[in-house]
Amino acid sequence: MKSTNMTNYNAVTPVNHFSVGNSSSHIEPYQRPFDDLGIQLSGVIIFTFLIIGIALNLLTILVICKYKKLRNLFVYFIFSLCVSDLISAIISSLFWYRRTLGFDLWEIPDFFCKFFWAADITTTFSTALHIMAFAVLRWIWLNFPTKKIKTRTALIIISLIWFLCITCGFVPYAIFCGSRIRDRYGKTMDARWPACTLNPEWIEEYLLFQRIAFPIFLYVPLGVIVIVSVIIVVQLRASIQSGIGDALGSTARMNRRRQIMQAVLQLMLIVISFLIGYVPFTAYEFWSLQHHPNTRYHRVFDYWFGMSEYLCIRFSECLNPIFYNIGSSKMRKCTIRYIKEKFGVNEPQIGNTWITTNNASRRQLSRINTNSRHA
C-alpha cells in the first residue's frame, strides 16, 4: 500500500481542530479523541505504574542478585521476567507521549517511535514464552520430583527465548512502524491511529506477520499456560484428597505438600497477572486492524480501548513482583531482609544482641546467687 498523501492537511497545528484546504463544507473539523483531562488522567496513571513497576522489578532483580540461596531454575525465569517488565515500564513514557502530546505530530526523533514498538512487542512475546516455559517446568517438577533439571538448561531456554523475541519481534516492528502525519479525513484505518504507529504501506506484510507470529508467540503459549495450569490444579486437588488419611504422616511428606502448594500458588498468580494484561491486548489487536467508519465515535472508542488495554498491561507488570513474593516464602523473607539492610533497619540485630546480653546477665546473676548460698 502506498503512503498517504497529506498535501491538504494542516500538519503545523496539532491542536483540537485541523483545517482542510478546499474541502467541501460538510466535512466536520477534526477533533482529537481526548481532551486535556484525558491527557492529565492517563499521565498520572501511567507514570504511577512506571514508578511502581521500575521500583518493584528492580528490587526483585537486586534481591535475586544478592542472595545466592534463592537461585534455582525457576528464580532465573523470574529474574528474566523482571528484566522484561522493567524494560516495559521504562518505555511506557513513550506510549503516553504517542497517545497524548504526540498523537497528531511526533516531534521527537523517529528512532524513539520505532524503538518503542520494537521493544514493546519484544517484551510481550518474551513474557508469554517465559510464563509458558515456567508452567511446563513446574508441571515436570511436580510430577517427576526425582528428575533434576539443570540450571544450565534453564539458562539456555531463557537465552533462546530472548533471541527469538528479538529476531521475530524487535526487527520486524522496527521496520513496520514509524512516525508520520496521519490523514484524519481518510477512510482507512490509518485515519484514527496516532502519528507513531504502523505505517500503512506495510499493512499487508504486517497482517501476514500477525497471522504467523501471534499464534506462535502469543496464542499457543496462552493455550499451553491455561491447559497446564488446569492440569496442575486438578492433580493437586487429587493429591490432597488422597492424602487426607495420612495427614499425620512423615514430616517429609508434609513438607513436600507444602512446597507443592507454594509452587502452584506462585504459578497461578503469575498466570492471572498474564491474563489481566494480555487478553485485552489481544482483543485490541483484532479491533484496531478492522475497518470501521471514520466517525468520532469510532475514533474515541479506538483511542480509549487502546489506552485501557495498555494500562492493563502496566497494571499486570506491577503485580508480578508482588505475586513472586506472595508465592514464595523464601523470596519474601529475602526481600524484607534486603529492604531492612538498605534502609538501615537493624531492629532484629539489636533485639538479638539485647536478648543475648540479657541472658548472659541472668546467668551471671544466677551464679552469684548460687555462690552466695554455698558460702
List, in order of start, the domains of the chain with CATH numbers: 41-344 (1.20.1070.10)
Question: What's the grid cell of residue 28?
Answer: 466536520
What's the rounded Cα separation, in Å, for the pair 228 and 263?
Answer: 13
234-244 burial code (b ≥16 CB/10 A, e <16):
eebeeeeeeee
371 CB neighbour count, 10 Å cutoff: 9
Q: What's the pLDDT score for residue 6?
A: 35
What's the rounded Cα separation, in Å, for the pair 375 and 99?
Answer: 89
Question: What's the grid cell of residue 86?
Answer: 522493567
Which residues, 6 or more positions from 254, have their beta carbon under 8 angstroms from its beta carbon? 247
Q: For cell 502469543, name the residue.
A: 218
Helices and strands (H and E) in the chain: how many: 11, 2
What's the rounded Cα separation, in Å, for the pair 324 and 261?
Answer: 14
Q: What's the pLDDT score for residue 146?
A: 64
- Each of the 375 residues of the chain gets a pLDDT tens digit; together they read 333 333 333 333 343 333 333 334 445 577 788 888 989 999 999 999 999 999 999 999 999 999 888 888 888 999 999 999 999 999 999 999 999 999 999 999 999 999 999 999 999 999 999 989 988 888 888 787 667 778 888 899 999 999 999 999 999 999 999 998 888 877 777 777 889 998 888 988 998 998 999 999 988 998 898 888 888 878 777 766 665 445 445 666 666 666 677 767 777 788 888 888 778 887 887 777 777 777 778 788 888 888 888 998 889 888 888 888 887 788 888 999 999 888 875 544 444 443 344 554 555 545 545 554 444
What's the rounded Cα separation, in Å, for the pair 223 and 142?
Answer: 20
- The one-letter code for the residue type at 319 is L
Q: For cell 518503542, name the residue.
A: 116
* Beta-bridge mates of residue 20: 9
Region class of 180: left (phi > 0), else alpha (psi between -120 and 50), else beta: beta
- Residue 196, phi then psi, degrees to nearest 5: -100, 105
Asked whether the beta carbons of 126 and 161 are under 8 A apart, the reply is yes
Q: What's the pLDDT score for residue 22?
A: 39
Q: What's the pLDDT score for residue 241?
A: 61
Report helix, strand or coil for 15: coil
